[in-house]
Structure 1
Amino acid sequence: MTTQSTPAVSPERRQQVAAALHAVLPPTCVLSAPEDTRPYECDGLSAYRQLPMIVVLPASEEQVLAVLDVCRRLHVPIVPRGAGTGLSGGAMPIADGVVLSTARLNKIVRLDAYSRMAVVQPGVRNLAISEAAAPYGLYYAPDPSSQIACTIGGNVAENSGGVHCLKYGLTVHNVLRVRMATIEGDIVELGSEAPDAPGLDLLAAFIGSEGMLGIVLEVTVKLVPKPAAARVIMASFDDVTAGGNAVADVIAAGIIPAGLEMMDRTSSRMVEPFVRAGYDTEAAAILLCEADGTAAEVEEEITRMAAVLRAAGAGAIAVSTSEAERLKFWSGRKNAFPAAGRISPDYYCMDGTIPRKHLARVLQGIAAMEHKHGLRCANVFHAGDGNLHPLILFDANQPDELRRAEAFGADILALCVEVGGTITGEHGVGIEKIDSMCVQFTAAELNAFFALKRAFDPLSLLNPDKAIPTLNRCAEFGKMRVTGGVLPHPDLPRF
């Protein structure tokens, strides 16, 4: 575990900010004692922790705007926070800043079954949307593994996906409109409930911006009809390369499964005793391929996928015969992260995206990295869209293992970039991948990111020092050229 070493906040400064916030919020909405702020010291990336100066829990738009006004006047950084399930440190506090939790903004404002949309506040849980829509035969498609706890505001911040994102898309494909507050206290609506909206497509820029551009106040999401039928194929492969190639073969056959996931032997063996899903623990890799639609559509697609998988070298194929069995097959994949605790004290979950055709190559590369860094890795992939989630297993109590795990993760992300991919698919950059941004992007591209940031947040008060590295940082990381002691684009901000 690493605690950020930042200068202590003076008692006078803490008292000044606390007094200003107490003046605009009820006492129960402001937390400042260390025992009260401790639960907010990190998100799901628990290796990095920092106690915030103050935590606020506004319960209305008016209270959010009041907090923004106080922080703007006193020049206090703000870290927006949803449920804290993020895995990249995007919600890790800043020592002299305020954590703004949207947990109390948790109302489903309106559910329109006729138009197939729901208007929700940012603190509404992902799964709660589907639960509310179920009586109308509808649901919200993006389903991260943390959907029972994660909130829609956090999903917007990270552009979350899930096991069904191959067919139904990520958050950005399922959000119609976002109502947000700028640091200046203006309320802006991005997107529209109509098929299109006038002006620049700032909605797509905002989704995935990790709280750096504004505070989410309300989100309009698409709802889709619940399929009449759904079945899952579980295919076993005695070779990881064959399993990776089978993924590309399924897509090349013109099939877009509702879900197409891959787990290696290490993953299967750590999950099976936990959920007893019936996984083949002797297989080098297993694929989970789901078909949904009408009963006839599902039957046809299952038949076609099974033929492709057999041709690709699947040694065994099982097809779910009931809804309960389908959910059981998926339960192992959904519980892969917690199941890692069965075989390792700690794990470091990476998140990179690659072209599907390079799955086998990247798997082979990760296997070589296990020997290089002396650590095990359990591979769990959204294989259909090339989104990798390698779980690097380590013990933080052993000297140097966290550093080696971080170096292992950086090597995986560099390999993703090398094969034409990117350093994140749905977990965001946060603090975890900020150095890897230097590997992927040029100084000019970073300058463009900062220009967008300045347009929304000229004072850099919203989640500063996250997601976008400064050129100085890239130079220190050894991934930016310095000529004659001068960085390119010296006018790039260093905040």
Structure 2
Amino acid sequence: MSSIALPDPDPEIVGRRDQIVKDLVAISGAESVIADDDGRRAFETDALTAYRQMPLAVVLPTTTEAVAKVLRYARANGIRVVPRGAGTSLCGGALPLQDSIVIGVSKMSRVLEIDYENRFARVEAGITNLAISDAVAPEGFFYAPDPSSQLACTLAGNLGMNSGGAHCLKYGVTTNNVLGIKMVTIDGEIIEIGGTHLDAEGYDLLALVIGSEGQLGLITEATVRILRAAEGARPMMIGFDSSSKAGMCVARIIASGIIPVAIEFMDRPAIEVCEAFAKAGYPTDAEALLIIEVEGSEQEISDRLAYIASIAHELNPLSLVVSASEEQSAKIWKGRKSAFGALGRLGDYYCMDGTIPLAHLPHVLDEIAEICRRHGLSVANIFHAGDGNLHPLIMYDGGKPGETERAEAAGAEILKLCVASGGCLTGEHGVGIEKRDLMRTQFTDEDIAVQLRIKSVFDPEWLLNFGKVFPLDAVEAVLTRRTEEASLGTSEGHPAEAA
């Protein structure tokens, strides 16, 4: 049983469900609408599975124009809309509401254009992350952001949450690798932001929309940067007898001026489970493991790995292994990419996502362990250590009364610790409903007010992904004020003023 409140449904909208479904079928065709109980149940949650709600209906359009028609209908009838990619969100970002239409983009997965000379690909937002790289790999190119769920997650979700991945240390997160988007507003207007080149003219609306979690519009297409693949790459594994030493090693590597492609961290619980799954040769006697990958020519790789090894040896590692083959490298990364799934074999877990300055890494890891111990729970740490993006996995049993609430309480403490350490609430998973009520931990009321005004400009009736990102009491205050001002005729035409 979760302690996070979900918005109350509008009984008038729920009562009109049969008519709404008929209208959607008329607009989109029966083949694009899911309205039966079994079909809707597949969309009642996302990867943050402690929360479940059945939507009014699900629509799976196949074109941008079809999306626009559904959004125009929703706006005209005051119906909330929840955008959805593959449902791999770990913060409840794709959780439906009982009075909402889910619009999924999974049927919009085509590669529309590839331009190798200018290094971009134009794709529909329902394409999976890995499919972009697969499409350009034959010509020696790749798409850099690589979340662990890249085999399943869609670009739509990556855009919504500004996802990163293991290799974002060198290549940046989603916003650093997108040149332009096509987006449908709640009015059903189709707009294009950015283009096929860097630094489009005018305001940087692209940066505003990417990471906005479906609050401003529904993205249907994107133009992404594709990069020439490096000549070669090789990972190394370094085992330590404490998480603090591993944290110090990460900080020293970055401070030295070397930027590896990736620096990934695992603690003992994660090492043991992932080794049992991947048979990658992880050091099961270690308390912490770093997977560090560098790329370049063979000489560059050898020189950089040797320099990193010299830094690690100052901290007396238990083991240091450099991959000797492509097969071994694949196993090393298979274990890391499969870590969340492998840990699921142990039971339920609550995956957090906070970011901290690297200098605080040893202290924060010790504090995370203490927080979970105090709540009577265990924790496994797997995260992108190079940029301080933490992913503590709090282990709990959802079948035991009170354990879900204890896991949430521990998670909230961890996120507050991240902010207190100079970091932030999220690195790549987003805010969703999970961190919604913690927004005031990081932002002042004035900060939140500005964000609410921006939201109101794009979505005056607050129909897009309602109940996510912003504290519910702040949203309720906005809507109440809007209603009062509308009745006095003072806010008509000025949605930003109502915030």
Q: Once the two structures are superposed, what CA deviation does each residue of 1:78-115 show, in whole Å capped at 9, x if it has no partner?
A: 00000001100010001111000011111100111111
Task: Write the distance in 2 (CA, Å) between the matches of 1:196 and 1:71.
Answer: 34
CA contact (8 A) 2:6 2:467 kept: no
Structure 1, gaps ≥5 residues long: 476-490
Give every structure 1 segment of 4 or more consecutive aligned residues whose post-TM-superposition deviation is greater than 2 Å.
1-12, 470-475, 491-495
Q: Once the two structures are superposed, what CA deviation does each residue of 1:266-321 show, in whole Å capped at 9, x if it has no partner?
A: 11012111111111111110111100112221111111111111113322100001
| Residue from 48, 51, 55 that aligns with 1:52 | 55
Task: Give secondary structure in 1 for the equivalent of 2:42.
Answer: helix
Match of residue 459 from structure 2: 457
* 1:187 matches 2:190: yes
Stretch deviating more after TM superposition (3-12 or 31-40): 3-12
Task: Write the distance in 2 (CA, Å) between the matches of 1:313 and 1:449.
Answer: 48
1:263 partner letter: M
* Cα shift at 1:472: 5.0
Task: Write the distance in 1 (CA, Å) between the matches of 2:86 and 2:443.
Answer: 30
Alignment of 1:111-126 (within 5 A): 111-126=114-129
Aligned residues with identical type, % of pairs:
47
Match of residue 374 from structure 1: 376
* Cα shift at 1:240: 1.3
* Cα shift at 1:341: 2.2
CA contact (8 A) 1:392 1:405 kept: yes
TM-aligned CA distance change 1:277 to 1:48, over 3 Å: same
Match of residue 333 from structure 1: 336
Task: Write the distance in 1 (CA, Å) between the matches of 2:238 and 2:148.
Answer: 21
CA contact (8 A) 1:438 1:474 kept: no
| Residue from 350, 353, 370 that aligns with 2:352 | 350
* Cα shift at 1:470: 4.2
CA contact (8 A) 1:472 1:494 kept: no
Task: Write the distance in 2 (CA, Å) between the matches of 1:370 and 1:152.
Answer: 33
Task: Write the distance in 2 (CA, Å) between the matches of 1:424 and 1:213.
Answer: 19
| Residue from 150, 160, 165 that aligns with 2:163 | 160
Task: Write the distance in 2 (CA, Å) between the matches of 1:277 and 1:474.
Answer: 51
TM-aligned CA distance change 1:182 to 1:492, over 3 Å: closer
Alignment of 1:90-169 (within 5 A): 90-169=93-172
2:218 partner letter: I
- When normalised by structure 1's length, the TM-score is 0.94
| Residue from 17, 20, 33 that aligns with 1:17 | 20
Structure 2, gaps ≥5 residues long: 478-494
Match of residue 267 from structure 1: 270
Stretch deviating more after TM superposition (330-339 or 354-363): 330-339
* Cα shift at 1:238: 0.7
Match of residue 34 from structure 2: 31
Task: Write the distance in 2 (CA, Å) between the matches of 1:435 and 1:473.
Answer: 12
Task: Write the distance in 1 (CA, Å) between the matches of 2:476 and 2:299.
Answer: 54
1:298 partner letter: I
Task: Give secondary structure in 1 for the equivalent of 2:391.
Answer: strand
- When normalised by structure 2's length, the TM-score is 0.93
Match of residue 424 from structure 1: 426
Task: Write the distance in 1 (CA, Å) between the matches of 2:207 and 2:174.
Answer: 10
2:467 partner letter: D
Match of residue 240 from structure 1: 243
RMSD over aligned Cα atoms? 1.9
CA contact (8 A) 1:157 1:211 kept: yes
* Cα shift at 1:333: 1.2
Task: Give secondary structure in 1 for the equivalent of 2:237.
Answer: strand
CA contact (8 A) 2:268 2:287 kept: yes
Task: Write the distance in 1 (CA, Å) between the matches of 2:8 and 2:54.
Answer: 10
Task: Write the distance in 2 (CA, Å) between the matches of 1:473 and 1:267.
Answer: 39
Task: Write the distance in 1 (CA, Å) between the matches of 2:152 and 2:497.
Answer: 37
TM-aligned CA distance change 1:93 to 1:493, over 3 Å: farther
Task: Write the distance in 1 (CA, Å) between the matches of 2:268 and 2:19.
Answer: 55
* Cα shift at 1:192: 2.1
Task: Write the distance in 1 (CA, Å) between the matches of 2:456 and 2:87.
Answer: 26
Task: Write the distance in 2 (CA, Å) between the matches of 1:289 and 1:432.
Answer: 30
Match of residue 487 from structure 1: none
Match of residue 198 from structure 1: 201
Task: Write the distance in 2 (CA, Å) between the matches of 1:321 and 1:16.
Answer: 63
Task: Write the distance in 2 (CA, Å) between the matches of 1:151 and 1:494.
Answer: 34
CA contact (8 A) 2:89 2:429 kept: yes
Q: Once the two structures are superposed, what CA deviation does each residue of 1:349-380 show, in whole Å capped at 9, x if it has no partner?
A: 00000000101010010111122100000001
Match of residue 251 from structure 1: 254
CA contact (8 A) 2:179 2:225 kept: yes
TM-aligned CA distance change 1:198 to 1:8, over 3 Å: closer
Task: Write the distance in 2 (CA, Å) between the matches of 1:12 and 1:465.
Answer: 20
